[in-house]
Chains A and B, each alone.
Chain A
Amino acid sequence: MAHTYILVVDDDEKIVKFLRFNLSGEGWHVLTARDGAEALRVVEKDSPDLVLLDIMLPRVDGFEVLRQLRQWSQVPIIGLSARGDTADKVKCLNLGADDYITKPFGINELIARIKAVLRRNKVDDSAPTTPDFKCGELKVDFLIRQVTRDGQELKLTPTEYKLLRELALGVGHTLSYRYLLGKIWGPEYKTEREYLHVYIGHLRAKIEPDPKDHDHIVCMPGVGYRFQCQEVA
């Protein structure tokens, strides 16, 4: 059995112990960091499979840790916070977190979310239905999971790639919010539209010639999103 390492970044010993006990029961190994600087060191040194990051860290807060981590690491990150407001959640997702959970949380919910994030970030080995997709200067090679624009490789997170792949494979068709959320994030996320909005924003910023124009990813208000292309190859 392969080992799965989860880095818990929290300065509260009680939370760390609680998480260690429960996560080890799932067969996951828990690494710990008590502050942001230590978290960055552990990610670099031990390459954990997932990071549970408390946002309310002393000194350097979790948002800053997230910002710094995302400059060089694609490790899946779940933000934890005692603050339940939507602005924090959106900020967390905008900075590149894969999910966000408000304290206090039920351990079963947390475990389910960790499993969903790990599942989402696993390499999709299923045979692609088509080897590649081209739209103008944008090219997606499904075989090697590479996305390029004007020949330049675009660095997409696993979630961004899966979202783009889904939209590209359905080019010309409107895919509903629920369909995309269920397909990319998992059935338990079907009503979490904020995730989709945030990640659509990430994708637009990376693939659209001008992110403000929404040439490729078109929103159908109240329905979903459609990938549109004048010249599909």
Chain B
Amino acid sequence: MSHLESGAMKLEKDWYQVSEILEWADRSLREVTRDHEVSTELPPDLPDVLVDRVRVGQVLINLCENAAKYSGRGGQILISAEISGDSIVISVADKGEGISPREMERVFDRFYRVAGEYDSEEGIGLGLSICRGIVEAHYGEIWVESKVGKGSKFSFSLPIEEKEGSRLRLP
């Protein structure tokens, strides 16, 4: 069991805008999606989140790499963020081959891989199980929506926390 899964992960948290996390991971994101069309949708009024930028960047890179892999060359990938209740939800959507409902239940399980990846030792499952560990260590959740033949949308939430002293801020 990794440190992440055992809950022993050390996070170096700080306040970041979602755009800053994307900026941090930008070079790697461009690398994994170099044969794809990537667009981003970030509302201008998103609050800052208290996160380990490297770790959240690692999740984003992994989700984008999976999206690129399963949507084929030239496929469209959308990275978006929105406020949902008391969280910010960040999503990576593709228009690729999609995942069946049965596979979706297990996609974050350790060592589980999507059918057809029989030749992979470190397939989608292991990376996603660690992504889940990272998101949960931030008190968030990760999930997937997908339709076979239509594409997949992986999302994770990060709680919106109140910045210390923010109540004292003058209007």
B169 close to A (CB within 8 Å): no
Q: Which of B27, B119, B130 contacts A21 (CB 8 A)?
A: B130
Size category of the binding interface on chain A: 10 to 19
- Against B, the Cβ 8 Å flags (1 = close, 0 = not) of A1-13 are 0010100000000
Q: Is the CB of A20 within 8 A of B54?
A: no
A24 close to B (CB within 8 Å): yes
Tell me the total A-B contact number using a CB cutoff of 8 A: 44
Contacts of A31 in B (CB 8 A): 27, 31
Q: Is the CB of B65 within 8 A of A14?
A: no
Count of chain B residues with a beta carbon within 8 Å of a chain A beta carbon: 19
B86 close to A (CB within 8 Å): no
B71 close to A (CB within 8 Å): no
Interface of chain B: mostly helix, strand, loop or mixed: helix
Q: Is the CB of B121 within 8 A of A29?
A: no
Q: Is the CB of B28 within 8 A of A20?
A: yes
Given A14-B123, A26-B54, A31-B31; 4 other pairs, CB 8 A cutoff: A18-B121, A18-B122, A21-B65, A24-B61
When A and B form their complex, which 3 residue pairs have the shortest distance between CB atoms, in order from nearest?
A: A27-B54, A18-B122, A24-B58
Residues of A near any B CB (own CB < 8 A): 3, 5, 14, 17-18, 20-21, 24-27, 29-32
Residues of B near any A CB (own CB < 8 A): 25, 27-28, 31-32, 54-55, 57-58, 61-62, 65, 119-123, 127, 130
